[in-house]
Amino acid sequence: MAPLRIRVYGDPVLRRVAQDVTDIDGAMAELCQEMLAAMYEAPGIGLAAPQVGVSQRFFVYDFGEGPGVLVNPEITESDGEWVYNEGCLSVPELSWEIVRPRRIHLKAHDLHGNELSIEAEDLEARLFQHELDHLAGRILLDYLDEDQRREAKRVLREQAMSRPSRPASAGDGLKLP
Ligand code: NI
């Protein structure tokens, strides 16, 4: 099977609000394995289903403690404020200082359908918030001011013209220190 292609800015699937997963089956588990492979290959630390063209509410991640999958995640609480340099596999080669809550409480399911309740902070919380944005059709450009966004679009247009040579990426969600 051909490796999954990570969709980049301009692909309409990145702007779609993803649907809740209603049935966790073997095909989905297999897709998660392929998504993890594409994520490690990129390399990145998170990858949401819409980024591979699947408009469903789940994402894979590994911020250094092994691979994980979160299905139908919801943030139930958040607090604090933290600025950090953040990049995205779907917006290659660019990154910005983005303000987000530092801590979140999140509910989700795993691939076995078990309910999860997760307290996350710092890098982990940021990564989860970033991937949740993808599930809602939001991307990093939405956090920028007008000048930053105009410059980002200019760079992305240039990238699009020089493909298929795929540029190196800072990694989805954020750069690890
Ligand atoms: Ni991203």
pTM (whole model) above 0.75? yes
- Cα 132 to middle of ligand 1, angstroms: 9
For residues 1-39, one letter each, b for 16 or more C-beta atoms within 10 angstroms of the residue's C-beta and e for the rest, the string is: eeebebbbbeeebbeeebeebeebeeebeebbebbbebb
86 C-alpha to center of ligand 1: Å?
9
Q: Any alpha helices (H) in the chain, and if so which ranges?
A: 26-41, 122-135, 146-162
Catalytic sites, residue numbers: 131
Task: State the pLDDT at residue 126.
Answer: 97
Compute the distance between CA of residue 33 and CA of residue 55 in angstroms, rounded to an integer: 17
CA of 130 to the centre of ligand 1 (A): 6
Contact 58, 21 (CB under 8 A): yes
In angstroms, the first-to-last Cα distance of the chain is 34
Q: How far does the centroid of ligand 1 lie from the alpha carbon of residue 127, in Å?
A: 9
- pLDDT tops 60 at residue 15: yes
What is the chain's alpha carbon radius of gyration, rounded to the nearest angstrom?
Answer: 15
Say what the pLDDT of residue 174 is: 54
Specify the pLDDT at position 173.
56
Q: What is the pLDDT of residues 132-173, one digit of tens each?
A: 999 999 999 999 999 999 999 999 999 888 876 554 444 565
Cα–Cα nearest to 176, from 4, 78, 90, 61: 61
Residues, Cβ < 5 Å to ion ligand 1: 88, 172
Three-state DSSP class for 111?
Answer: coil
Ligand 1: distance of its center to the CA of 47 in Å? 7
Containing 5, the helix (H) or strand (E) segment is: none
**In the chain, what are the helix, strand and coil shares in percent, each to the nearest 5?**
35, 30, 35
Q: Model confidence over 55-98: pLDDT tens digits?
A: 999 999 999 999 999 999 999 999 999 999 999 999 999 999 99
